[in-house]
Amino acid sequence: MLQLLREGGPSAVTVDGVTSRSGVAKTTIYRRHSNRSELLTSVLASAVSTPEVPRDGSVRDKIRFALEQVWHQMDDVLGPGGLAALVANSDPEFTDLFRAALRPHVDMLVSRMREDADAGLLRPELDADGVVSLMIGAYLGELVRHGEVEPDWLDRTIEMLWILMAPL
């Protein structure tokens, strides 16, 4: 089911689509999921990981670890089809489902940055929500510009934004 989402977006995640791809009978699918919404919810629930809270390492290491988890959800879970649907908001129900699934990751990253700012490890007046939006936008911008996000883009993004975050 996840491959359907990644390739064709949420509109591809249908009972017929799952049946075609997996060979599982419709009756079997309907026993577990009474409608498309439950099917999409199940796909996201099984694919979106629980955020791991980084406690060790430097501030930059912790931010990198947390940001990598957020980017992983967009890349490995959504793929091109899911991202296109999310950006275009072509399926508002799916958009809401994914935002809810991503929220713990984003909240953890924002919380991590606020804790570090309170501890004097980051700029005290840091707008953590804004910086996280910039970090997510950096991923999307790179994808739009180049069609893919190179592995070093994560470190480059943190390096570029560090001037906003570093304590004075």
Query: 148: closest CA among 70, 53, 66, 83?
Result: 83
Find tokens 């840091």 and name the residue.
126
Q: Summarize pLDDT for 137-165 with one digit per residue, the tens.
A: 999 999 989 988 998 999 999 999 999 99
* CATH number of the CATH domain containing 26: 1.10.10
Find tokens 């999921």 and name the residue.
33
pLDDT for 55 beyond 80: no
Both 18 and 73 in a single domain? no
Q: Say what the pLDDT of residue 13 is.
A: 87
Based on the structure, what is the number of domains in the chain?
2
Both 27 and 64 in a single domain? no
Structural domain of 96: 50-165
Both 39 and 108 in a single domain? no
Both 87 and 117 in a single domain? yes
Q: Do the beta carbons of residue 59 and residue 118 sit within 8 Å?
A: no
Q: Summarize pLDDT for 12-42 with one digit per residue, the tens.
A: 888 888 888 888 898 988 888 888 888 888 8
The encoded tokens of residue 16 equal 């017929």
Both 77 and 100 in a single domain? yes
Provide the whole-model pTM. Answer: 0.83
